[in-house]
Amino acid sequence: MSDYPNMSYCMCSNTLLAMNQIVNEMNEQGPQFLNDMGREEKRAFQALFNMCEDFMSLSEEITEQSENEDEYDGQPDEAQEWHDFDPDC
């Protein structure tokens, strides 16, 4: 059996639904949300918290990389053009 519960084409959608369930329960229950958890669920909660931090960092990084790739048109930027400019040409 795979360690991944979702198919790759719907993993973000399914995970979003699951996260909505968690956040709604947290909003409704407040601190009792944590107080009602057993030991294993508290460990999973902490692991999820850490994973969310990793997700945010990695999301920002790959979004920036993707935007930079989209902006590159294969041509040198203006600073590079002036650096390479040969006035005797």
pLDDT at 1: 47
pLDDT at 89: 67
Domain chopping of the chain, boundaries:
1-36, 38-89
pLDDT at 4: 86
Residue closest to 37 by CA, chosen among 50, 24, 51, 22: 22
Residue closest to 18 by CA, chosen among 9, 31, 8, 5: 5
Per-residue pLDDT of the chain (89 residues; tens, 9 = 90+): 478 888 888 999 999 999 999 999 999 999 999 999 999 999 999 999 999 999 999 999 999 998 887 666 666 666 666 666 666 76
pLDDT at 12: 93
Contact status, residue 46 vs residue 37, Cβ threshold 8 Å = no
